[in-house]
Structure 1
Amino acid sequence: MKIQHKLTLNSSLVFGLVFTISSVLIYLNFVRSAERIFFEELARTASLTAMFYLEEDELTTKEYSRIEKKFLTASANQEIRLYDKKGFIHYGEADPDTNITAKILKTIRANSHYSFKVGNAFYYTIYYRDNQGSFSIIIKANNPILEAQESEFVRILLIALILGMLVIVTLSYTLSKVAYSPVRQIIEQVKNIDMNGQKHQLTYPRTKDELEDLFQEFNSILEKVYQNIQIQKNFISHASHELRSPLSSIVGDLEVLLQKDRNMMEYKNVSENVLNDAERLEKILENLLVLSGLDQKNKQKTQPERIDEILWEVLDKLATEYQTTKINLHWDLPENTSGLLEYNCVKTQIYMALYNLIENAAKFSDQKPVDITLKNIENKLILQIRDQGIGISALDIQHISEPFYRGHNTGKIKGNGLGMAIAYRIFSNHDIGISIESEPNSGTRITLNF
């Protein structure tokens, strides 16, 4: 069932339940009030009956005539019986009433007045003591007007309930239709979204409510999905190219080698080329495995490590690989900063990330010096890597963390475009901020915020 229909059904049921309970309470209150008023009228009739039958000898003719007139008017359509102590009818209707039992008479004698109802018959009784004796005066009457009023009142309540249900169903359906019209529009837009095509953003009215928050979150998800799809496309394109190149080179060298007999030097040259291509292919596959491992949800256990010690290990390694490039380390930290240099991390991963960044700086610096600076800003360790190489364009910076993506000005320099992707994933997993400032032919500055 659609939410719109659920809302209509639920609101109608709630209205029907509340109206029914209210109607029952109003009806019961009306009946109780009407019966109380009718019993009060019967009480006056009972008092007049006692004076009419039992006080004649004590009243003047004028007073008795006035009471008689009131009695005859009030007692119309009513049955009157006066029972003596022995339970015999002394005055009034001669036929006994089956509803007047010995138990009822005993209750009347025990109370000065007593009222009850049997079916549609109303009874009001008083126990009256006179010089002639003690009598139980019982007035019985039906109230056809009250019955008609009750029936009419029930009919009015039922009509009001039916009309109210019709109105509430109509209003609820209309209001829910209006309220959920943005949702239906979003559903139609989502149906037509092609995630493999152009970038999509949902359009929706500015309602400043939870629906707008939901649509904004959905748009942010669409943005992330679109970016991931583009990254996957680039990954497939670059991965196929990077893997194909060494394989094609190996196959080509071997095919040339097998066309005819070669001397020992040619065999050696081809073997060296094949070995270099195989090592390149092995490096690509190794980096892919590392990158895949960094994407797993189960992270390795971290422990406090000294960042400066990891950095020295990286510099020692690069000193042997890039002997012609000078790497300068600037220590702008005050004394006794061992606590600042300690960071919870996976040492091998931080080593790999720092190695990739500094190696890139050395590789693309065109043998110009590379400066590494450690400093303290607001009790946080800041590590900056600055080179004076070929730089990175603004367009390339946007894609620099994508696997296999290489800048447009790096074609002559060996690489596979995985180093920065690995470094970005490692820093992200360790909550280390990274920012890049660069311009083509003006060098690059990378800042790490621990």
Structure 2
Amino acid sequence: MKVRTRLTLLFTLVTAMLISFYAVAIYYSSKEAREISFYTELKSEAVAKANLFFEGALTEKEMHRLYKTNTQTLSEVQVAIYDSGFNLVYHDDSKVDYVKENSEMLSKIFKKKQLFFFLDDFQVTGIVYSHNGKQYAVTAAAYDQYGYNSINHLLTISIISFIIILVLIYLAGLFLSKKALSPAVRMVEQIKRINAGKLQLRLDESEEKGEFHELEKNFNQMLERLEHSFTTQKHFVSNISHELNTPLASMTAELELALQKNYTQNEYQTIILNALADVKNMSRLSGSLMDLAKASYDPTEISFSEVRIDEILMDSYAKIRKENPQYKIQLNVDLEIEESQLLHRGNPYLLMVAFNNLIDNTCKYASDNTCLVNASLISERLSIEFTNKGIPVSEKDLHHIFKPFYRAENSFDQKGYGIGLYLTQKIVDLHHAQIHVSSGENTTNFQIIFE
């Protein structure tokens, strides 16, 4: 069921319930008002007939004739009068007795002085009437034909009006829901045109501020992120394919060359060593891609704990020295830094990957393979700097140095894939830290500042 139909039906149902409650309240209040009004008329008629009987100039036969004449044209009230001994004194028509008074009923009237009750559809009023020091029980009964007709007419009009109002409300609900949901319909039509090849399309944002405007705005922002993600992924896959093809093509050429003719043992060893070097390059590339994938996870899926930054730096220092004995690394930790200031919530593996990349990158491009690692405090925040001396990075390269697969002008004579610094920045961002790079006067400096 469409939202428009569901909203219309819900709106109609709620309105129907409210109207029903109102109609029922009106009907029962009118019904009760009719009863009270007719009881009052019966009481007045009982008093009038008693006055006429005891004090009037009409005889009993004339009163009977008057009663029978009135019953031919309207629902005349039938009155009966009893004395305190429950003896009948007067009755409008004893042959057609509506009430059929008995001693129990008359006792209640004398006791309560006033009594109102129903006998089938007839309403009955019983009162005590005093005359010449004696008390009489007077009953008056009649069927309120006019009142019941009015109530039934009210009920009929209410039912017909209820049905007509429901139909009108349903039609009005369809119209209003169509108008209210027209921005959503327009959004759906525009979204249908957006696919993986047309992520540059955007929804038209309405000028009127409201929920749909916020939805359109946030949806466009999501499209921007998706477009950026798709573009990066496309670029990433393209570069990966290129980087993998290079060692694969080299290995293929070396192995095909080995099959063309017989070589000496030394020549075979050279071919195997070249192929092994290509395999190691692919292995390093695969490792870098795995690290990049881990750093690209949702932060909520990465395990974080309290770690000591200086201990991770020491582990990174030991690992780089072991893999690259020619590197000269000087690690300095300011003694004034308190232990609590070295603690940071993070992932030890990813932090070590970032430090490894920075140390390796700094040593690789230093003129003497030397990297100075300095940990200190800046405005009560932990700062780690990686500095080398060598060919400075140009201003143009500094703006792109953290982009994936980007190689600076001074890096083409070194092996690499342009992943390390991009991966390092993602890891730093995951740990809510900041990384800055500066270069000049044969010196390049990378700085990480932890919050």
The answer to whether the superposition gives a TM-score over 0.5 is yes
SS in 1 for 2:100: coil
Structure 1 residue 74, shift from structure 2 partner: 11
1:21 Cα deviation after fit: 0.8
Q: Which residue identity lines up with residue 270 of structure 1 in the other structure?
A: I
Give secondary structure in 2 for the equivalent of 1:138.
strand
The separation in 1 between residues aligned to 2:204 and 2:445, in whole angstroms, is 39
Superposition deviation, residue 336 in structure 1: 4.5
Matched, 1:376 2:366: no
Matched, 1:40 2:40: yes
1:51 aligned partner:
51
Match of 2:393 in 1: 390
Match of 1:350 in 2: 351
Q: CA deviation at 1:191?
A: 0.9
Question: Aligned-pair distance for 1:269?
Answer: 2.9
Matching residue of 1:237? 238
CA distance in 2 between partners of 1:435 and 1:214 (Å): 34
Residues 1:115 and 2:135 aligned together: no
Q: Output the amino acid matched with 1:288.
A: L
> Greater CA deviation, 18-27 or 238-247?
238-247
On the 8 A contact 1:392/1:407 being kept in 2, the answer is no
Could you tell me which residue of structure 2 aligns to residue 279 of structure 1?
280
State the 1:18 CA deviation.
Answer: 0.5
- CA 1:239–1:189 in structure 2 vs 1: closer, same or farther (change >3 Å)? same
Q: Pairwise mapping of residues 36-435 of structure 1 onto structure 2 (< 5 A)?
A: 36-55=36-55, 77-85=76-84, 87-93=86-92, 94-95=94-95, 97-102=97-102, 103-131=104-132, 133-295=134-296, 302-315=304-317, 318=320, 335-365=336-366, 372-385=373-386, 389-391=392-394, 393=396, 397=400, 400=403, 402=404, 405-407=405-407, 409=409, 410-429=411-430, 431-435=431-435
SS in 1 for 2:400: helix
Q: Is the 8 A contact 2:392 2:439 kept in 1?
A: no
Distance 1:443 1:22, change over 3 A: farther
Deviations 1:398-426 (A, max 9, x none): 972x4xx2336444431123323443443
Q: CA separation in 1, counterparts of 2:297 and 2:176?
A: 47
Name the stretch that deviates more: 310-319 or 257-266.
Answer: 310-319
Deviations 1:264-315 (A, max 9, x none): 4433432321221111112122333344445566867555433234324434
Residues 168-224 of structure 1, C-alpha deviation per residue, up to 9 Å, x if partnerless?
223322221111111111111111112234423322214433333333332232222
Q: CA deviation at 1:78?
A: 1.9
Q: Which amino acid aligns with 1:92?
A: H
Instruction: Report the 3-state secondary structure (helix = DSSP H, G, I; strand = E; otherwise coil) of the residue aligned with 1:82.
Output: strand
Moved more, 437-446 or 280-289: 437-446
Residue aligned with 1:269, SS: helix
**Contact in 2 for aligned 1:243/1:281 (Cα 8 Å):** yes
- Whether the 8 Å contact between 1:89 and 1:96 is mirrored in structure 2 is no
Whether contact under 8 Å (1:12, 1:168) holds in the other structure is yes
The answer (yes or no) to whether the contact 2:306–2:343 under 8 Å persists in 1 is yes
Q: Could you tell me how far apart the structure 2 residues matched to 1:237 and 1:441 are?
A: 36
Change (3 A) 1:47 1:98: closer
Do 1:364 and 1:389's aligned partners in 2 also have CA atoms closer than 8 Å? no
Quote the Cα distance in structure 2 between the aligned partners of 1:6 and 1:24: 27
The one-letter code sitting in structure 2 at the alignment partner of 1:201 is R
How far the C-alpha of 1:13 sits from its partner, in A, is: 0.9
Aligned residue for 2:15, secondary structure, equals helix
Distance 1:322 1:22 in 2: 88
Query: Secondary structure of 1:122's match?
Result: strand
- Matched to 1:308, the amino acid is D
TM-score of the aligned structures, taking structure 2 as reference length: 0.82
CA contact (8 A) 2:397 2:408 kept: no
| Shift in Å, 1:329 | 6.0
> 1:391–1:444: 8 Å Cα contact kept in structure 2?
no
Amino acid at match of 2:434: I
Counterpart position of 1:21: 21
For residues 54 and 132 of structure 1, the distance between their equivalents in structure 2, rounded to whole angstroms, comes to 13
**8 Å contact 2:401–2:407 — kept in the other structure?**
no
Deviation at 1:372, TM superposition (A): 4.5
Q: Which moved more, 1:229-238 or 1:383-392?
A: 383-392
Q: Secondary structure at the match of 1:397?
A: coil
- Contact kept, 8 Å, 2:401 with 2:421, in 1: the verdict is no
Distance 1:302 1:30, change over 3 A: closer
CA distance in 2, matches of 1:114, 1:220: 79
* 1:263 to partner: Cα distance: 3.6
Q: Normalising by the residue count of structure 1, what TM-score does the alignment of the two structures yield?
A: 0.82
1:359 aligns to what SS in structure 2?
helix
Closer, same or farther: CA 440–88 of 1 in aligned 2, 3 Å = farther
Task: Work out the CA distance in 2 between the residues paired with 1:412 and 1:348.
Answer: 29
- Which residue identity is paired with 1:248? A
Does the CA contact (< 8 Å) of 1:396 and 1:408 recur in 2?
Answer: no
Displacement of 1:366: 5.6
Decide whether aligned partners of structure 1 residues 376 and 14 sit closer, same or farther in structure 2, where only a CA change above 3 A counts: same
- Measured in 1, the distance between the counterparts of 2:52 and 2:423 equals 113
1:177 alignment partner, SS class: helix
SS at match of 1:95: coil
**Alpha-carbon distance in 1 for matches of 2:442, 2:288:** 29
Question: What SS does the aligned partner of 1:416 have?
Answer: coil
Confirm or deny: 8 A CA contact 2:435 2:446 kept in the other structure.
Answer: yes
State how far apart, in whole Å, the 2-side matches of 1:121 and 1:300 are. 84
Q: Does structure 2 conserve the Cα–Cα contact (< 8 Å) formed by 1:81 and 1:137?
A: yes
SS of match in other structure, 2:261? coil
1:389 partner amino acid: P
How much does 1:354 deviate?
0.7
Letter of the structure 2 residue corresponding to residue 353 of structure 1? A
Q: 1:109 to 1:320 in 2, by over 3 A?
A: closer
| Gap change, CA 1:326 and 1:286, over 3 Å in 2 | closer
Shift of 1:337: 2.2
